[in-house]
Amino acid sequence: MAVKIPFATVAQVHQDNVVEDVFFTGLLEHCQVNDNDPQWLQDIRRESKSWLSGLAVPTKKDEDWRFIDLSSLTEGNFVAAPDSVDVVSEQPLAETAHSRLVFVNGIYNTELSDLSELPPGIYVGSLDNLPDDCNAAEYFAKQPGTDAFTALNTAGGKDVAVIWVNKNVAVETPIHLIFIAQAESSASFAQPRTLVVAQTGANVSLIEEYIGTGEYFTNAVTEVFVQNNARVNHTRLQQESSASYHIGKTAISQARDSHYTISEINLGAKLLRHNPEVWQQGEQTETFLYGLTVATEEQVSDTHSIVALTKPHGTTNQLHKCIADDRAHTVFNGKVFVPKEAQQTDATQLNRNLMLSAKARVDTKPELQITADNVKCAHGATVSQLEADEIFYLRSRGLSETDANQLLIDAFAAEIIDRIPLESLSNRISQTIEQKVKH
């Protein structure tokens, strides 16, 4: 019998909200089903398109969206991103020479990708070339939760990035997925889609990165399936254009004795919304969620997570940190659900926020809903500024006020950045934060 999750993960219908309805309708006009796709994929896309046609973009009247205003997104006139563009990327691609899978405007780019050093027993590439013995229909769009933006991606995604690791295969070097958004003369939108399947006993590390230039809307969905006794180490870096909008869903299903870790870094975009959702569907599963958001100027960055421990002996540990400067607005809403069936579980959740400006805004709402009676659970949130006594101590040791402030900011962020498995990437992130936040 399936365990019911009481959290609302389906967008509500607003018949009186004409603007949002027009917005979705306009985007759906660009979502054409490809007749060359497998029949099962065509059916899923048509079903999602039909379901979405009755919904509107969520507003602040919806509990899960009450902290942010999507009106600037819905007022935009976005057109489908071109399939072929001349890529102009400010980020170096050569630093990830091991295995690199590049998508431009949601389309697989073979020239920028490098899969020459992949070990046997793993497939990395587009869904179009997936081997016949890999049954993607069993996994694609099969996660428990859904919402309007996920349905939009399912209805109109042009391509799918696939990482498929066979049983008992261990991949020693990280696999780097890079999604580049390239807007041209008009505002565009692209819908990257990723499917990760780690079969029984597999072990893989992946880096999912979003970059781009210009004004655009990225609507991304990543589905991760971690089977029995498999391990997935997932890094998600969002560093998109300051004129862009990014809405993303990362949905994870874990089987018995599996281990999943995600480290997400949110640096870019004018407006960001990321929804990590973890469904522990087997006993003795382990889940670790680490996050760092750095927002400056008038950025809005919202992380809404769900962790559902539905079986006994599950473990989850979540630490999300936010740095808010200038007039930026950061949001964290984390939900941990422990039903009666999830006895002897251990769940910890902590949100720490650092405010660097009196005009910045932080909203934090950690939540636990527990009906099991034999568990160990804790949650909390803190909001603070740079400590005057710590700055005084560092200045007494010869540091300038600017250097002292920067050292404390770096130390606050390092706990998350140090978990990134690629040293060159973690160094680049540290440098970006130092340039982004100067005090």
Calpha distance 406→313 (Å, rounded): 41
Sequence spans of domains, the chain: 18-389
Total residue length of the chain? 439
CA distance linking residue 42 with residue 32, whole number of Å: 10
Question: Could you give the CA distance from residue 422 to residue 425 in angstroms, rounded to a whole number?
Answer: 5
Identify the band that residue 93 occupies on the pLDDT scale cut at 50, 70 and 90. low
> If pLDDT is split at 50, 70 and 90, which confidence band does 12 have?
very low
Q: Between 72 and 7, where is the model more confident?
A: 72
The mean pLDDT of 243-260, rounded to a whole number, is 97
Q: How far is CA 132 from CA 32, 109, 166, in A?
A: 25, 22, 13
Q: Using the predicted structure, report yes or no on whether residue 30 has a pLDDT greater than 90.
A: no
Per-residue pLDDT tens over the stretch 341-361: 999 999 999 999 999 999 999
**pLDDT per position as a tens digit, 377-433:** 999 999 999 999 999 999 999 999 999 999 999 999 999 999 998 888 999 999 999
Q: State pLDDT tens for residues 277-329.
A: 999 999 999 999 999 999 999 999 999 999 999 999 999 999 999 999 999 99
The pair of structure tokens assigned to 403 is 């250097």
Tens digits of residue pLDDT in 71-92:
999 998 888 877 766 665 545 5
Task: Map tokens 């040293």 to a residue.
Answer: 423
* pTM score, whole prediction: 0.93
SS3 262: strand
Rounded-to-integer distance, Cα 155 and Cα 145, Å: 16
Summarize pLDDT for 32-67 with one digit per residue, the tens: 777 788 999 999 999 998 888 888 889 999 999 999
Instruction: Supply the pLDDT for residue 81.
Output: 79
Instruction: Say which DSSP state 81 is in.
Output: P
Measure the CA–CA gap between 319 and 166, rounded to whole angstroms. Answer: 31
Q: What is the DSSP string of 305-372?
A: EEEEE-STT-EEEEEEEEEE-TT-EEEEEEEEEE-TT-TT-EEEEEEEEEE--TT-EEEEEEEEEE--
Kindly report, residue by residue over 222-239, the tens digit of the pLDDT.
Answer: 999 999 999 999 999 999
Q: What are phi and psi of 317, to 5 degrees?
A: -135, 120
Rg (CA), the chain: 21
Please, what's the b/e burial string for 161-181 (b: 16 or more CB within 10 A of its CB; e: otherwise)? bbbbbbeebebebbbbbbbbb
What backbone torsions phi and psi does residue 432 show, to the nearest 5 degrees?
A: -65, -45
Mean pLDDT throughout 329-346? 96
Q: Is 250 strand, coil or helix?
A: strand
For residue 128, give both structure tokens.
Answer: 């179009």
Cβ atoms 323, 382 nearer than 8 A:
no
d(CA 396, CA 389): 10
CA distances from 276 to 190, 335, 384, 418 (A): 20, 10, 25, 20
- Rounded CA-CA distance 41/34 in Å is 9
Query: Which pLDDT tens digit goes with each residue over 138-173?
Result: 999 999 877 899 999 999 888 999 999 999 999 989
Give residue 5's pLDDT band: very low, low, confident or very high (50, 70, 90): low
The amino acid that residue 355 corresponds to is M
Phi-psi group of 269: left, alpha or beta (phi > 0 → left; psi -120 to 50 → alpha; rest → beta): left
Sheet holding 100-104, edge to edge: 107-108, 100-104, 175-182, 203-213, 231-238, 259-266, 286-295, 315-324, 346-355, 376-384
- DSSP-based three-state secondary structure for 408: helix
Q: What is the mean pLDDT of residues 184-204?
A: 92
The 10 Å CB-count burial string (b at 16+, else e) for 209-226 is bbbbbbbbbbbbbbbbbb
Q: For residue 111, what are its two tokens? A: 């020239």
Residue reference for tokens 């909200």? 17
Could you tell me the two tokens for 108? 């697989």
**CA–CA dist 152, 303 (Å, integer):** 19
**Among the listed residues 374, 369, 275, 253, the one whose alpha carbon sits nearest the alpha carbon of residue 331:** 275
Tokens representing 172? 């020693």
pLDDT of residue 16 exceeding 60, the answer is no
Tokens 């706990």, located at residue:
415
State how far the Cα of 174 lies from the Cα of 206, in Å rounded to an integer: 5
What is d(CA 211, CA 397) in angstroms, rounded to the nearest whole number? 39
118-141 pLDDT, tens digit per residue, is 889 999 999 999 998 999 999 999
Confirm if 45 and 30 have CB atoms less than 8 A apart.
Answer: no
| pLDDT of the residue at 29 | 80
